[in-house]
Amino acid sequence: MRILARFPLRGLISSIPRTTESASSVSRHRRPYSTHPPNARLNIPTDFSTTPLLAHSSQSALQNPELPPDARNGTTKRMNLFQSINDALSIALAADDSVLLFGEDVAFGGVFRCSMGLADEYGGERVFNTPLSEQGILGFAIGAAAEGMKPVAEIQFADYVYPAFDQLVNEAAKFRYRDGKGGRNAGGLTVRMPCGGVGHGALYHSQSPESLFTHIPGLRVIIPRSPIQAKGLLLSAIASNDPCVFMEPKALYRAAVEQVPTAPYTLPLSKAEILKQGADLTIVSYGHPLYTCSAAIEKAEKDLGISIELIDLRTVYPWDKDCVLKSVRKTGRCLVVHESMISAGIGAEVAASIQEDKDTFLRLEAPVMRVAGWDTHMALAFERFNIPDVARVYDTIKRSVEY
Amino acid sequence: MNLQRCGTRILRPQSVSLRQPRIHTTQRWSSSISQRPGAAGVHFPGAVNSKFTSDLSFEHPSTYPAIPTYRAMSPDGDIISPTLTPPSDELSLSMYHNMLSVSIMDVIMFDSQRQGRLSFYLTSQGEEGTSVGSASALEKEDVIFSQYREAGMFMQRGFTFADFMSQLFSNTNDMGRGRNMPVHYGSKALNMHTISSPLATQIPQAAGAAYALKIQRLTNPNIPPRIVACYFGEGAASEGDFHAALNIAATRSCPVVFICRNNGYAISTPTLEQYRGDGIASRGIGYGIDTIRVDGNDIFAVREVTKRARELALTDGGKPVLIEAMSYRISHHSTSDDSFAYRARVEVEDWKRRDNPITRLRKYLEKKGLWDEEKEKAARARIRKDVLKAFAEAEREKKPPLRSMFEDVYAEMTPDTKKQMEELRSVIERYPDEYDVAEFEGGKDSLSK
């Protein structure tokens, strides 16, 4: 059944709305699938060609102070997210013979094209297909990592990582701890998995299980928001001595396009990034919803006359608590936005940490609020009512400020 | 942690030996296998060598004979396999010594758990032959993953009584730093990965590790050829990880020898409730893996089979091999189990007397004039003394520093963990009467940043 579901999705990925064309001429009941309500002011699809979260020019891409000097003085290339992942994988394979890349359907390029051309370039011994077995893929990867390799294992959709959960929780995460003085570990392991809503992925092509991983000591959980971030963070994950779960928002694979530095570079793990400075409210998010937040911020700042700080966690565990607490101590208000369900999500951890920190708690002027997926499953026909949208983020900003 | 530094290290261009495009040997394009008119065989891509038949009949396991069990030495200690050259006298004696050592240590540790001096123990009575015999056929550089009933393998590869006891008592010399339950041994120096409780998880890991060894030798031909040996019980073979492992080991041609200890029981579950096929061995064939069944109570047979399996695993660029070693679990499953709740005492006694790897090798050694009752008595007394000495020394040692509870979760401690460690210290300081930290090396001070 799953095989059938996979391939149609590849084609459908490209149907993500990229323009803000008007749908007013189409009757209400015959409105094309992906357009927005005719009178919408807030829930307008992201225009990735103008969003301030992407580097649209070579200059803005190279300005990033986190880049090493040689990357900053280098060139850039227009890439979407899957291309930048491909670029990072190629750099890692070229730089280190111990890097292996495998998973289901990886050899021909992957169902999302992330491994295009890599089997040809680096050989079938290093880039290969595995049998269709997630527990096998991760068990195999852990064993290879334990013997000094740097396996990059792909789980075709985050929704299918659960058969491998035992290997991740009980084995990868605990390998170093239980080996003790021997120091052997599965730190060479990186697990990549496409995650998040895609408009029509329904129950098993939409999930965001990051908070299940953030409850596991020993794993690093990383979610990039853009091609530049994806390249740098993936190279860091591969270089990291800890097992990393690298979650790729699949809706961004083709949609998010920006100028990406061509040189190899890494970006720091467990370090958040302040995407926009503000004084009155902090929004903490990661991955795809950052674009929603950015759009909501634009409207809210105009309507409410406030300034909002936007933070991308990037690594959701171990996360950059200092950055968030510092920001909330400044603004006094915070909301957390993510796609996965509200209860026991990343927002719960962020909110609890804020109220637990004496200095930040005393500075709060409104309760910490969460905008996230409802406590339900991702139903096909109702996805746009489940994933946080601009209206819900906007409304929560308003409620926080007016509290 | 300086991730930037790690990053630049890996990104430094290195040797390019594996970078050239290679022929993708495992790739098969189904479109190239076209069906010729009137062909006798079916060229479906999923089964290229299958012949057509007009007889409708289901294959039934009972029409195939059970896979035979290879035996080299009779229960009376006589060599019966014409192809077998018995190991040297020296090796035979040391193997006997190792089996005896494990069996004596098992009794002492089982009893001390019963006295409450140890939290848990698990013996390997009846299976000493499988673990000692197989380990004797491996090279020191071969990597081992095991389940937990392979003390003989650890002994054969050089684990000392002090190593066993340090782990069992979680003292400061324990390689695992006091984190694992007793019997979860491991040794980096001896290439034996640390045991974990979840069953069968080590089997696909063994496949991946074997693939790593294979790739490393492709990159650097100066590395000696190595294999991975992986132990598990017949109960663990019911886990999905067994299936995943054998399949991926076969498709990726991994030099790994899977060694199944089929001892008839998984805790209380007899094999009749574990599977209905011809044991575990019959499955190997289904995965396209060279397979053999061996008498696990015959240490020479196990050794010979493992030796050949190792050679086989290294041929044609590497491939997996499956060994099913038949034996009987004489002991209770563990100290938390009373096996007479589900099997007759007489059955156990019968196996103990009738067929036992230790007595079988002893008979061989006695017939060769290498062993007698006097030597047996002396050896038993000496081993007993050595075990008790290591026992007493290990029990006296301090436990590892409390700090080791927080270390090694990540390569470097996270800020949160550091804070929590500090918090624990502060609680202990404020409630000194509520905690006994004296038995831990360095007391509460090890919890300082």
What is the per-residue pLDDT across A89-139, written as a single tens digit (0 to 9) for each? 999 999 999 999 999 999 999 999 999 999 999 999 999 999 999 999 999
Q: Which residue has the tokens 């239980």?
A: A178
pLDDT higher than threshold 50 for residue A8: no
Provide the CATH topology of domain A58-261.
Rossmann fold (3.40.50)
Q: Which of B5, B20, B24 to mutate to test the interface with A (most CBs of A within 10 A)?
A: B24
pLDDT higher than threshold 90 for residue B336: no
Residue of B nearest to A165 (CA): B201
Query: According to the model, what pLDDT value does residue A391 have?
Result: 98
Query: According to the model, what pLDDT value does residue B38 have?
Result: 72
Query: According to the model, what pLDDT value does residue B2 have?
Result: 41
For chain A positions 108-127, those within 8 Å of chain B (CB to CB) are: 119-126
What is the tens place of the pLDDT at every residue in B31-54? 555 666 777 766 788 988 888 899
Domain spans in chain B, listed from the N-terminal domain onward: 64-396, 402-447
Query: According to the model, what pLDDT value does residue A6 have?
Result: 45
Residues B434, B131: Cα–Cα separation, whole Å:
45
Query: According to the model, what pLDDT value does residue A30 have?
Result: 61
Q: Is B175 within 8 Å of A182 when comparing Cβ atoms?
A: yes
Query: According to the model, what pLDDT value does residue B193 have?
Result: 98
Structure tokens at A283: 């929004």
User: Angle at the Cα of B28 (from B27 to B33), degrees rounded to 5?
Assistant: 170
Residues A153/A104, Cβ–Cβ less than 8 Å: no
- Residue ranges of alpha helices (H) inside A242-357 are 252-255, 289-304, 321-331, 346-356
Domain spans in chain A, listed from the N-terminal domain onward: 58-261, 273-402
Give which of A353, A398, A346 is closest to A372, Cα–Cα.
A346
Closest in B12, B244, B411 to A95, CB measured: B12
Q: A190: part of which helix (H) or strand (E)?
A: strand A190-195
Average pLDDT over residues B228-245: 97
- Collect all residues with Cβ–Cβ distance below 8 Å to B392 and sequence separation of at least 6: none
For a pLDDT cut of 70, what percent of chain A falls above it? Answer: 92
Give yes or no for A65 touching B (CB within 8 A). Answer: no
Query: According to the model, what pLDDT value does residue B62 have?
Result: 87
Query: According to the model, what pLDDT value does residue A42 have?
Result: 97
Task: Spot the catalytic one: A134, A171, A248, A339.
Answer: A134
What is the tens place of the pLDDT at every residue in A52-97? 999 999 999 999 999 999 999 999 999 999 999 999 999 999 999 9
Alpha-carbon gap: A147 to the closest alpha carbon of chain B (Å): 6
pLDDT higher than threshold 50 for residue A281: yes
**Residue type (1 letter), A14:** S
Residues A13/A253, Cβ–Cβ less than 8 Å: yes
Give yes or no for B52 touching A (CB within 8 A). Answer: no
How does residue B283 score in pLDDT terms, banded at 50, 70 and 90? very high
Query: According to the model, what pLDDT value does residue A29 have?
Result: 56
Q: Is B10 within 8 Å of A238 when comparing Cβ atoms?
A: yes
Fill in the DSSP letter of residue B1: -
Closest in B18, B212, B247 to A144, CB measured: B212
**CA dihedral sign, ordered B31, B32, B36, B40:** negative
Give yes or no for A178 touching B (CB within 8 A). Answer: yes
Q: Is A140 within 8 Å of B208 when comparing Cβ atoms?
A: yes
CATH number 3.30.70.270 given to A273-402: no
Closest in B1, B22, B145 to A125, CB measured: B22
Residue A205 is among the residues annotated as catalytic for this protein: yes
Average pLDDT over residues A145-159: 98
- Collect all residues with Cβ–Cβ distance below 8 Å to B19 and sequence separation of at least 6: A93, A94, A97, A121, A122, A123
Query: According to the model, what pLDDT value does residue A7 have?
Result: 41
Residues A233, A67: Cα–Cα separation, whole Å:
12
Q: Which residue has the tokens 């149609």?
A: A8
Q: Which residue has the higher pLDDT, A354 or B352?
A: A354
Residues A255/A18, Cβ–Cβ less than 8 Å: yes
Residues B130, B324: Cα–Cα separation, whole Å:
10
Give which of B244, B15, B70 is closest to A94, Cα–Cα.
B15
Residues B322, B286: Cα–Cα separation, whole Å:
11
pLDDT higher than threshold 80 for residue B386: yes
For a pLDDT cut of 90, what percent of chain A falls above it? Answer: 91
Q: Which residue has the tokens 């089929």?
A: B262
Residues A104, B110: Cα–Cα separation, whole Å:
46
User: B336: how many CB neighbours lie within 10 A of its CB?
Assistant: 12
| Long-range CB contact pairs, B89-93, < 8 A, 24+ | B89/B368, B89/B370, B91/B136, B92/B361, B92/B364, B92/B365, B92/B370, B93/B365, B93/B370, B93/B371
Query: According to the model, what pLDDT value does residue A4 have?
Result: 39
- Residues in A closer than 8 angstroms to B4, CB to CB, are 68, 266, 268
Give which of B203, B105, B210 is closest to B146, Cα–Cα.
B203
Q: Is B409 within 8 Å of A177 when comparing Cβ atoms?
A: yes
Query: According to the model, what pLDDT value does residue A177 have?
Result: 98
Query: According to the model, what pLDDT value does residue A34 have?
Result: 58
Query: According to the model, what pLDDT value does residue A108 have?
Result: 97
CATH number 3.40.50.2300 given to B64-396: no
How does residue A28 score in pLDDT terms, banded at 50, 70 and 90? low
What is the tens place of the pLDDT at every residue in B397-443? 999 999 999 999 999 999 999 999 999 999 999 999 999 999 999 99
Residues B390/B105, Cβ–Cβ less than 8 Å: no
CB-neighbour burial class of residue B2 (10 A; exposed 0-12, middle 13-18, buried 19+) = exposed
Alpha-carbon gap: B207 to the closest alpha carbon of chain A (Å): 6
CB-neighbour burial class of residue B79 (10 A; exposed 0-12, middle 13-18, buried 19+) = middle
Residue A134 is among the residues annotated as catalytic for this protein: yes
Query: According to the model, what pLDDT value does residue B294 have?
Result: 98
Residue of B nearest to A234 (CA): B7
Q: Is A166 within 8 Å of B201 when comparing Cβ atoms?
A: yes
Q: Is B11 within 8 Å of A91 when comparing Cβ atoms?
A: yes
- Residues in A closer than 8 angstroms to B9, CB to CB, are 239
For a pLDDT cut of 90, what percent of chain B falls above it? Answer: 80
Fill in the DSSP letter of residue B145: E
Between strands A257-261 and A76-80, the pairing is antiparallel
pLDDT higher than threshold 90 for residue B227: yes
Domain A58-261 identical in fold to domain A273-402: yes
Q: Which residue has the higher pLDDT, A292 or B6?
A: A292
Structure tokens at A61: 């891409």
Give which of B70, B90, B105, B100 is closest to B390, Cα–Cα.
B105
Task: Spot the catalytic one: A36, A200, A205, A338.
Answer: A205
pLDDT higher than threshold 90 for residue A27: no
Average pLDDT over residues B283-306: 98
Query: According to the model, what pLDDT value does residue A16 have?
Result: 41
pLDDT higher than threshold 50 for residue A145: yes
